[in-house]
Amino acid sequence: MPARGGQAQHLHAPVAGGDVIESARIALTYVKSHAPALDIEEHAPAGRELHVYVPAGATPTDGPSAGITMVTAIASRLSGRPVTSTIGMTGEVTLQGRVLPIGGVKQKVLAAHAAGLSEVILPERNEPDLDDVPSEVRDHMRFHIVETVDQVLALALEPAAVAKAA
């Protein structure tokens, strides 16, 4: 959606706290600064309003944990490449594209499993936390351990050829 006046770029996060808004800003900045590598036109984000909806039940710590998810959603929207429907993810992101560890891995993996997801992307430093996940859940899921946002996007976004065929 074009921003008012066609110049400014606005990021809206209704019902969000400061950590969520900061995570959304980091995600947008990362995508903008890596636009050519993501096959996004350099000026695609310009003149658009982006809305990041966070449910009312979210807690302030949900923002950082959703960092890679926000990067993926924004990159998907601007590149036209859909997100793989069977994959979930969690991890904090830095402006340099590093994926940082988060808390609550067991609960997040159990929720992903209950939602029918078969794959989960996790920060490398959270790999030991998978030992806390019951083996009957672990055995039915595939875990992708990542260090960078580039790895996340390679796993999460459908190839450009698939997006164009859809």
80, burial (CB in 10 Å: exposed 0-12, middle 13-18, buried 19+)? middle
Q: Which fold has domain 4-165?
A: Ribosomal Protein S5; domain 2 (3.30.230)
User: From the candidates 108, 118, 135, 164, which is the catalytic residue?
Assistant: 108
pLDDT of residue 3: 41
Domain ranges of the chain: 4-165
76 an active-site residue? no
The DSSP code sequence of 112-154 is HHHTT--EEEEEGGGGGGGGGS-HHHHTT-EEEEESBHHHHHH
Pick the residue with more confidence: 31 or 22?
31
To the question of pTM greater than 0.85 for the whole model, the response is no
User: From the candidates 23, 65, 76, 79, which is the catalytic residue?
Assistant: 65
Q: Which of 56-65, 70-79, 140-149 has the lowest mean pLDDT?
A: 56-65
118 an active-site residue? no
Residue (of 96, 81, 89, 47) closest to 164 by Cα position: 81
Beta strands in 10-165 (DSSP E): 10-12, 49-51, 87-89, 92-93, 99-100, 119-123, 142-146
Residue whose token pair is 């949900």: 62
pLDDT digits (tens, 9 = 90+) for 75-126: 999 999 999 999 999 999 999 999 999 999 999 999 999 999 999 999 999 9
